[in-house]
């Protein structure tokens, strides 16, 4: 029997049950309906240190991610993501970019680059994209403004690429910071579910 396809979501929001968490739930529910096995990783619950810019992870050439000298939970999170067929990356927009929680995780993805001392710029170790990615952002401003003025979409897209994923959908959920406990708007719910189907399309 075929193994169920695996979808892993990384949540960079500070609020469990908030907009991003709820949007991730919709993506995963739709993917689950298509027979995928789904799971969530809350960055809030993980011990992940800041990248120290020692660059030891990026000195040696090769397709596999470089070895990070920091002993925390990053390696197990990356093992989990590398074993997935699809990933979801979600973050609120804070100060025009992803949350600090998300950024701390993203900076650690430098282990997927080959960047020896002496080289001017990093190069991705591989251009292979064996998995798909869906990206979710939420913000107080209208979504169209976030698309134009914020760096957040680019941060998540490059994180997905580093994780060997081709982005198949980006959902920006705008105008969501008007109440303390705002429900995920119906339209966003539908769009998130659509992305869940897109993530699993062709899996069966």
Ligand X SMILES: Cc1cc2nc3c(=O)[nH]c(=O)nc-3n(C[C@H](O)[C@H](O)[C@H](O)COP(=O)(O)O)c2cc1C
In the complex, which residues of this chain contact ligand X (CB under 6 A)?
Answer: 13-15, 18-21, 92-96, 138-141, 176-177
To ligand X, the closest distance from the beta carbon of 63 in angstroms equals 35
Question: Which residue lies nearer to ligand X by CB, 24 or 57?
Answer: 24
Question: Which residue lies nearer to ligand X by CB, 48 or 100?
Answer: 100
Question: Which residue lies nearer to ligand X by CB, 92 or 164?
Answer: 92
First CA to last CA across the chain, in angstroms? 12
- Rounded Cα distance between 135 and 163, Å, is 13
- Rounded Cα distance between 19 and 2, Å, is 34
Closest residue to ligand X, judged by C-beta, is 18
Question: Which residue lies nearer to ligand X by CB, 124 or 177?
Answer: 177
* Beta-carbon count within 10 A of 12 CB: 28
Q: Which residue has the tokens 């240190």?
A: 49
Alpha helices per DSSP H over the chain: 19-33, 74-82, 100-107, 143-149, 152-162, 186-200
To ligand X, the closest distance from the beta carbon of 189 in angstroms equals 14
To ligand X, the closest distance from the beta carbon of 169 in angstroms equals 18
To ligand X, the closest distance from the beta carbon of 129 in angstroms equals 27
């Amino acid at each position: 029997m075929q193994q169920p396809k695996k979808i892993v979501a990384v949540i960079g929001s500070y609020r469990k049950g908030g907009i991003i968490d709820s949007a991730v739930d919709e993506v995963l529910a739709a993917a689950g309906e298509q027979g995928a096995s789904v799971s969530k990783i809350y960055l809030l619950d993980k011990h992940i240190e800041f990248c120290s810019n020692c660059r030891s992870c990026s000195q040696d050439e090769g397709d596999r991610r470089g070895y990070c000298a920091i002993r925390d939970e990053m390696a197990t999170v990356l093992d989990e993501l590398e074993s997935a067929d699809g990933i979801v990356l979600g973050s609120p927009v804070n100060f025009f970019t992803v949350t600090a929680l998300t950024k701390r995780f993203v900076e650690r993805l430098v282990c997927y680059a080959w960047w020896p001392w002496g080289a001017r710029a990093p190069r991705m170790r591989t251009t292979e994209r064996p998995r798909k990615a869906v990206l979710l952002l939420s913000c107080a401003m209208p979504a169209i403004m976030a698309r134009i003025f914020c760096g957040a979409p680019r941060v998540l897209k490059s994180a997905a690429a580093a994780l060997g994923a081709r982005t198949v959908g980006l959902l920006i959920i705008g105008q969501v910071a008007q109440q303390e406990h705002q429900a995920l708007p119906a339209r966003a719910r539908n769009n998130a579910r659509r992305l869940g189907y897109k993530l699993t399309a062709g899996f069966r």
